[in-house]
């Protein structure tokens, strides 16, 4: 190659960025070597993480346990053995019921308080004493075993900490037991004391609007009323409570014994 032509070619290469001479002979990078290097072994894929165990559904477990109870003693035992409600861990006693199981009237409250948790019976504190006086005013008595008897229970059998209001989750877990309790006792009518039993059995709250108006729960007439604890804090509301009691008394007079649903067995 002529000197000036070679110099021009070199300058062109410099301008294009070729600043170093690597070898005397060109290298074809597309040629495959005769002995290609051994390929690296593929890294074994990590196994997929194990699926987390599915937690049991406490509502389904409660429903199965309640359905297996053929009578009230079996239901009480099933509730005492149920381990899927956190309230049980902080309670002294399981509070099942009080009064006459075959009574025409079934009173349903919210949950045990301090005295109920200590004694293992519902409505035994100041609110329970007021309830007894209210029922006595229309001729009903939890100690009676005749047609004037009363059967009393709560939505929850265990005391919530600091007597707080039950959560919707706690109500949902224990509702199958309450429904089975009502079916086995088969009363003529229900008295729903406060917002919690109304939420559990009627699906809504607002006791101030609901009280004094008959409703249906578990195919039974149900009367929402102020809870006796509310009446202790608000004595002026006793007037409305007395009107509700008279409604219950009148309903019992006109509800013939033959109209009573038969108790469920099994």
pLDDT tens-digit readout, 127-156: 999 999 999 999 999 999 998 999 999 999
Give pTM, 2 decimals.
0.77
CATH of segment(s) 58-256: 3.40.470.10
Q: Is the pLDDT of residue 265 over 60?
A: no
For residue 190, how many other CB atoms are within 10 A of its CB? 24
Rg (CA), the chain: 38
Long-range contact set of residues 58-67: C-beta below 8 Å, sequence gap at least 24: 58/84, 58/85, 58/173, 59/172, 59/173, 59/175, 59/176, 62/173, 62/174, 62/175, 62/176, 62/177, 63/176, 65/176, 65/177, 66/176, 66/177, 66/179, 66/180, 67/176, 67/180
pLDDT digits (tens, 9 = 90+) for 35-89: 666 666 667 777 777 777 777 899 999 999 999 999 999 999 999 999 999 999 9
pLDDT digits (tens, 9 = 90+) for 170-181: 999 999 999 999
Of the pLDDT bands very low, low, confident and very high (cuts 50, 70, 90), residue 8 is confident
Of the pLDDT bands very low, low, confident and very high (cuts 50, 70, 90), residue 266 is very low
pLDDT digits (tens, 9 = 90+) for 199-241: 999 999 999 999 999 999 999 999 999 999 999 999 999 999 9
Question: 126, 171, 123, 176: which is closest to 151 by C-alpha?
Answer: 123
Q: Is the pLDDT of residue 29 over 70?
A: no
Question: 121, 91, 140, 122: which is closest to 196 by C-alpha?
Answer: 122
pLDDT of residue 100: 95
Of the pLDDT bands very low, low, confident and very high (cuts 50, 70, 90), residue 27 is low
Q: Is the pLDDT of residue 262 over 80?
A: no
């Amino acid at each position: 190659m002529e000197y000036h032509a070679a110099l021009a070619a070199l300058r062109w290469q410099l301008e294009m960025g070729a600043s170093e001479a690597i070898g005397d002979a060109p290298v074809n990078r597309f040629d495959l070597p005769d002995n290609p290097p051994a390929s690296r072994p593929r890294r074994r894929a990590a196994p997929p993480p194990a699926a987390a165990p599915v937690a049991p559904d406490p509502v389904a477990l409660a429903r199965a346990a309640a359905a297996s109870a053929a009578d009230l003693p079996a239901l009480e035992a099933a509730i005492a053995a149920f381990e899927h409600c956190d309230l049980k861990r902080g309670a002294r006693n399981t509070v099942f019921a009080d009064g006459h199981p075959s009574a025409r009237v079934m009173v349903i409250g919210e949950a045990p308080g301090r005295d109920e948790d200590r004694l293992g019976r519902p409505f035994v504190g100041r609110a329970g004493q007021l309830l007894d006086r209210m029922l006595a005013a229309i001729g009903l008595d939890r100690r009676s075993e005749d047609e004037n008897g009363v059967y009393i229970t709560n939505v929850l059998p265990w005391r919530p900490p600091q007597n707080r209001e039950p959560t919707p989750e706690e109500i949902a877990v224990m509702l199958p037991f309450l429904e089975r309790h009502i079916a086995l006792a088969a009363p003529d009518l229900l008295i729903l004391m406060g917002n919690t039993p109304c939420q559990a059995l009627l699906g809504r709250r607002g006791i101030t609007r609901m009280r004094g108006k008959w409703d249906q729960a578990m195919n039974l007439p149900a009367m929402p009323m102020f809870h006796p604890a509310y009446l202790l804090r608000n004595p002026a509301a006793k007037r409305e409570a007395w009107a509700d009691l008279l409604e219950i008394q009148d309903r019992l007079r006109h509800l013939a014994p033959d109209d009573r649903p038969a108790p469920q067995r099994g």
